[in-house]
């Protein structure tokens, strides 16, 4: 029986993925590295430094660790400028209705995000009130596709992985959910991924799906 739902943040609850894209694009343009939506999709769910390594893999230059630290910090500063402008109006009515509907039905809700910027995003959008637990880039040592972030979220909810659904937009996130023994639901890019247990087109399909389990 499903007792909890663990939501990825970026690309599932909020469209902060467009800000990641703009910030990485700005860095890539400066370094004259080709970067488009297809490359950006490879960065979904993976950590900041792993993302940077993917971006730099399209360059024929090599960079020192110190140079990479500077680049990652520059990208993050630009990304945070976009986040600072977020408000509760960035949360769609549909998303609110689904979170409220699941809570009303007694489900425990958690966030499972690779992002170290999760606290800022929650503060700006005011959505922390919907969640019983938050597991993010600040409490993990291994990023998705490692299941750590979701296993911690389930632990914080006092639930077993087999009692929880993981909702993801990233292939790395679906791999993480599967590796942790969760039922995986994919939206956006992850809806087309063959390893996703259940694809959805919109979050509003979740309530029915949870009730049928
Ligand atoms: P940060 P999620 C992930 O968030 C993003 O999808 C991924 O693109 C990003 O590199 C990662 O967070 C780390 O983010 O630089 O803010 O720590 O999808 O797991 O909610
Ligand atoms: Mg995501």
- CATH number, domain at 64? 1.10.150.240
Report d(CA 9, CA 17) in Å as an integer: 9
Question: pLDDT class for 120, splitting at 50, 70, 90?
Answer: very high
Is omega for the bond preceding 194 within 30 degrees of 0, making it cis? no
Report d(CA 104, CA 8) in Å as an integer: 20
Question: pLDDT class for 130, splitting at 50, 70, 90?
Answer: very high
- Kindly report, residue by residue over 84-118, the tens digit of the pLDDT: 999 999 999 999 999 999 999 999 999 999 999 99
Domain boundary pick from 83, 109, 133: 83
Same structural domain, 129 and 157: yes
- What pLDDT is attached to residue 184? 98
Same structural domain, 91 and 157: yes
Same structural domain, 70 and 130: no
- What pLDDT is attached to residue 191? 96
Q: Sheet holding 108-112: strands in order across?
A: 133-135, 108-112, 4-7, 164-168, 183-186, 198-199
Closest CA to 54 of 132, 183, 171, 190: 171
Cα 178 to Cα 22, 120, 147, 159, 161: the distances in Å are 30, 28, 8, 16, 10
Domain boundary pick from 83, 112, 134: 83
Domain boundary pick from 83, 113, 139: 83
Same structural domain, 56 and 102: no
Nearby residues for ligand 2 (ion, Cβ within 5 Å)? 8, 10-11, 45, 169-170
- Kindly report, residue by residue over 21-60, the tens digit of the pLDDT: 999 999 999 999 999 999 999 998 899 999 999 999 999 9
CA-nearest residue, atom 14 of ligand 1: 115
CA-nearest residue, atom 13 of ligand 1: 115
Minimum-distance ligand 1 atom for the alpha carbon of 168: 18
Same structural domain, 119 and 200: yes
* Structural domain for 121, as ranges: 4-14+87-212
Same structural domain, 93 and 28: no
Rounded to the nearest angstrom, the distance between the alpha carbon of 95 and the centre of ligand 2 is 15
The answer to whether residues 136 and 144 touch, using CB atoms and an 8 Å cutoff, is no
Rounded to the nearest angstrom, the distance between the alpha carbon of 168 and the centre of ligand 2 is 6
Same structural domain, 65 and 125: no
- Kindly report, residue by residue over 63-85, the tens digit of the pLDDT: 999 999 999 999 999 999 999 99
**Single pTM value for the model:** 0.94
- Kindly report, residue by residue over 176-204, the tens digit of the pLDDT: 999 999 999 999 999 999 999 999 999 99
Contacts with 88 (C-beta within 8 Å, 6 or more apart), sequence order: 125, 126, 127
Q: Which ligand is nearest to the CA of 111?
A: 1
Structural domain count of the chain:
2
- In this structure, the number of other CB atoms found within 10 A of the CB of residue 38 comes to 7
Same structural domain, 78 and 148: no
Query: What is the average pLDDT across 127-140?
Result: 97
Same structural domain, 63 and 9: no
């Amino acid at each position: 029986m499903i007792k909890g739902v663990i939501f990825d943040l970026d690309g599932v609850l909020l469209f902060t993925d467009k800000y990641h894209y703009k910030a990485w694009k700005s860095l890539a343009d400066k370094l004259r590295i080709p970067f488009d939506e297809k490359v950006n999709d490879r960065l979904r769910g993976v950590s900041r430094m792993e993302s940077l390594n993917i971006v730099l893999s399209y360059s024929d230059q090599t960079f020192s660790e110190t140079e990479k630290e500077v680049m990652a910090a520059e990208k993050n500063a630009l990304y945070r400028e976009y986040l600072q402008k977020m408000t509760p109006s960035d949360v769609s009515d549909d998303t609110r209705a689904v979170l409220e509907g699941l809570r009303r039905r007694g489900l425990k809700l958690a966030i499972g995000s690779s992002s170290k910027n999760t606290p800022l995003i929650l503060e700006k959008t005011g959505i922390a009130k919907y969640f019983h637990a938050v597991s993010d880039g600040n409490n993990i040592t291994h990023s998705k596709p490692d299941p750590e972030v979701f296993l911690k979220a389930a632990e914080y909810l006092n639930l077993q992985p087999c009692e929880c659904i993981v909702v993801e937009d990233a292939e790395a996130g679906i791999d993480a959910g599967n590796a942790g023994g969760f039922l995986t639901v994919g939206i956006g890019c992850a809806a087309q991924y063959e390893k996703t247990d259940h694809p959805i087109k919109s979050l509003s399909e979740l309530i029915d799906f949870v009730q049928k389990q």
